[in-house]
Structure 1
Amino acid sequence: MKKDAAPAPLLDAHLLQLFELIYDTRSVTRAAEQLDLAQPTVSIWLGKLRRQLGDPLFVRTPSGMLPTPEADALIGTVRQALESLRYLAQREARFEPATSERRFRICMTDASHITLLPQLLAHVRSVAPGVRLGAERIDERTAQRLEAGEADLALGLIPELDAGFYQQSLYNQDWVCLANTRHPRIGEALSREIYAQEGHINIVSGTGHRLLDASLERHHLEHRVVLELPGFLGLPAIVSTTDLLVTLPRHIGETLARLYGLRVFPCPIPIPGFTVKQHWHSRYHNDPGNRWLRELCASLFLRDRSGE
């Protein structure tokens, strides 16, 4: 059986550069000077180039190293190949927010829809008017979507994102309680005793509520839940028209209190704080658009809110 022919060896970029320099200067010596190489090294390279192309390429004459007809025929292809290589070497992938029409998808909690998204959207509209944002849920498919490029970034407390993911801490969170400004049994402060006696709203979405439940159990404190909600939609209306309390992270708590005229109290029981982070997959770490979005989120949200 006839063996397949061996593939032709690839020409080294340095050999192509030598070909071009000798063609232009008609001199091995001047080519060596421009390459900052010893002339014997250049002579070795020229011999290799001749063997690979199967032609003398350049012939020594009183007028210098003149190209053979084969070299004349090849110079255009060589220059085109070198131009392509120079383009690849100098190419810098860029993202131009002012002209981009890219759609970015960000996984976030519904609390972030209230606390982070308005500020992010306002800034994006001012510097990147053609860019579109899509808010995605954080769920069991978040890691898969980030890896597949179906989502660009995830914001929040997402401890399950570890291997294959980058992360950056943005701000710290502790816990507060919200109450109606006309609550009949709360004065200037919210005591542990009143906290234990009152009815509560429990927000069951996200990772943070597990910290709350674990802390209540650890301190053997009753938490009389009257209403469970899947998120923060409707929460301000309920708190402002009932005597129910709600315990929630400081950022969303203070934001809702400011927007809807609710009272904010330090939480009377110790609940572990946590850090809100942005997460992205390693596949897109060097993607210019992803990098721009990460830097934008960092510029807007990178600070410690635990003392606010």
Structure 2
Amino acid sequence: MTRHDLPHANLLDPRLLRLFDALFTTGSVTKAAERLGQSQPTVSIWLARLRQELDDPLFVRSPEGMLPTPRAEALISTARQALEMLRRLAELRTDFDPATAKRRFSICMTDASHITLLPAILAHVRRVAPGIRIEAAQIGMDTPRMLQSGESDLALGYISDLDAGHFQQALFPQDWVCLANAHHPRIKNRITLRDFRREAHVLIRSGTGHQLLADASREQGIAPDIALELPGFLGLPAIIGTTDLIATLPRHIGETLAHYYGLRVLACPLPIPSFTVKQYWHARFHHDPASQWLRGVCAELFQQQDVRGLHRSARPRRRKAT
């Protein structure tokens, strides 16, 4: 059994296939070298390798130039078909066209982001990509696995630690505010740390920054008077708007709720570490055109801009020319 009969024989270098085609077409080593953008000595070395790989001279010198042998004539059609397949393979990566695309994107986010970020994303997508469907998934412990598997395309929020193999991009910073009834009987335009200690609170056990609030309260030796615990932000505006309870929450969701429901936003007197809202994705999809488009939309809408204006307008900023 010869080397060429082995089931795992080495595949031909595509450069040798291109040389074969160029020599067959031009009948000249010099012209083939010019066509390939290589020096004549390099082409001569490649031709020697090609002859060895195919176990045939392939081309012989004559007054009319390099003439193909019968084996070369038998192989040229197959070689050109292989080159065409390689060209098609290289062209398979096409740009993502949002105007005509039909697909679903899954984005992991908190319920606060359903109120603050999702409306702007959806308004933009409906305007420029009407065939795209958005699915909001819950951000949590399972998010890294979902990003890796492709079950979710993107995560928006704050994830304190992330497995290797993920990318992240900062969007905007978040600090903390207190939300109160606009007609609160004791709190007007300012809330002091003393007020914070004595007033009754609504605790929202939701959001990726929730642990920062709990840690800050413990470190400061403050145990807020919790009158109500909620699993999310859905009922919070009605509670704050009809009682004297206060809530401590990230600025973006606080100012958005205050805008829509006529609530009062106050600077939080408790020192709580700020955090940065980011977008996260897995390295598997870093070069995927559809994923790149979605990340570009989120960056265009949210990156480093004054997010307090997002609930007033879903129009994205224009990209600066680069």
- TM-score normalized with structure 1 length: 0.92
Q: Are 1:173 and 1:305, in contact at CA under 8 Å, matched by a contact in 2?
A: no
Unaligned runs of at least 5 residues, structure 2: 310-322
Deviation, 1:213, is: 1.9
Deviation, 1:252, is: 0.3
Question: Deviations along 1:122-147, whole A, 9 cap, x unmatched?
Answer: 00111111011100001221111111
Question: Using the alignment, how far apart are the partners of 2:223 and 2:30 within structure 1?
Answer: 90
Q: Are 2:252 and 2:308, in contact at CA under 8 Å, matched by a contact in 1?
A: no
Q: Are 2:108 and 2:139, in contact at CA under 8 Å, matched by a contact in 1?
A: yes
Q: Are 1:173 and 1:306, in contact at CA under 8 Å, matched by a contact in 2?
A: no
For structure 1, which segment, 246-255 or 19-28, has the greater mean C-alpha deviation from structure 2 after superposition? 19-28
Q: Are 1:179 and 1:240, in contact at CA under 8 Å, matched by a contact in 2?
A: yes
Equivalence for 1:274: 275
Query: What letter corresponds to residue 215 of structure 1 in structure 2?
Result: A
Question: Using the alignment, how far apart are the partners of 2:41 and 2:273 within structure 1?
Answer: 71
Deviation, 1:4, is: 12
Question: Using the alignment, how far apart are the partners of 1:108 and 1:193 within structure 2?
Answer: 34
Q: Are 1:250 and 1:306, in contact at CA under 8 Å, matched by a contact in 2?
A: no
Q: 1:34 to 1:258 in 2, by over 3 A?
A: same
Equivalence for 1:157: 158
Deviation, 1:89, is: 4.0
For structure 1, which segment, 70-79 or 221-230, has the greater mean C-alpha deviation from structure 2 after superposition? 70-79
What RMSD over aligned residues (CA atoms) do the two structures have, in Å?
2.2
Q: 1:72 to 1:167 in 2, by over 3 A?
A: same
Question: Using the alignment, how far apart are the partners of 1:304 and 1:221 within structure 2?
Answer: 33
Question: Using the alignment, how far apart are the partners of 2:172 and 2:165 within structure 1?
Answer: 22
Equivalence for 2:121: 120
Question: Using the alignment, how far apart are the partners of 2:56 and 2:25 within structure 1?
Answer: 18
Deviation, 1:28, is: 2.3
Deviation, 1:40, is: 4.4
Deviation, 1:64, is: 2.2
Q: Are 2:109 and 2:136, in contact at CA under 8 Å, matched by a contact in 1?
A: yes
Deviation, 1:41, is: 4.0
Deviation, 1:79, is: 1.3
Q: Are 2:144 and 2:163, in contact at CA under 8 Å, matched by a contact in 1?
A: no
Query: What letter corresponds to residue 77 of structure 1 in structure 2?
Result: T
1:63 aligns with 2:70: no
Question: Using the alignment, how far apart are the partners of 2:163 and 2:43 within structure 1?
Answer: 51
Query: What letter corresponds to residue 203 of structure 1 in structure 2?
Result: I
Deviation, 1:217, is: 2.1
Q: 1:64 to 1:249 in 2, by over 3 A?
A: same
Q: 1:304 to 1:129 in 2, by over 3 A?
A: closer
Specify the SS of the correspondent of 2:67. Answer: strand
Deviation, 1:231, is: 0.3
1:182 aligns with 2:183: yes
Q: Percent identity at matched positions?
A: 59
Equivalence for 2:292: 291
Q: Are 1:257 and 1:263, in contact at CA under 8 Å, matched by a contact in 2?
A: yes
Question: Deviations along 1:239-279, whole A, 9 cap, x unmatched?
Answer: 11111111111000000000001111111221111111111
Q: 1:306 to 1:32 in 2, by over 3 A?
A: closer
Question: Using the alignment, how far apart are the partners of 1:57 and 1:4 within structure 2?
Answer: 16
Q: Are 1:106 and 1:134, in contact at CA under 8 Å, matched by a contact in 2?
A: yes
- TM-score normalized with structure 2 length: 0.88
Equivalence for 1:202: 203
Question: Using the alignment, how far apart are the partners of 1:247 and 1:214 within structure 2?
Answer: 13
Question: Using the alignment, how far apart are the partners of 1:4 and 1:71 within structure 2?
Answer: 16
1:135 aligns with 2:136: yes
Specify the SS of the correspondent of 1:298. Answer: helix
For structure 1, which segment, 292-301 or 91-100, has the greater mean C-alpha deviation from structure 2 after superposition? 91-100
Question: Using the alignment, how far apart are the partners of 1:92 and 1:206 within structure 2?
Answer: 37
Deviation, 1:91, is: 5.0
Deviation, 1:38, is: 4.3
Q: 1:219 to 1:56 in 2, by over 3 A?
A: closer
Query: What letter corresponds to residue 271 of structure 2 in structure 1?
Result: P
Specify the SS of the correspondent of 1:30. Answer: helix
Q: 1:27 to 1:125 in 2, by over 3 A?
A: same
Q: 1:78 to 1:243 in 2, by over 3 A?
A: same
Question: Using the alignment, how far apart are the partners of 2:270 and 2:46 within structure 1?
Answer: 77
Specify the SS of the correspondent of 2:179. Answer: strand
Q: 1:180 to 1:39 in 2, by over 3 A?
A: closer
Q: 1:36 to 1:223 in 2, by over 3 A?
A: closer
Query: What letter corresponds to residue 28 of structure 1 in structure 2?
Result: V
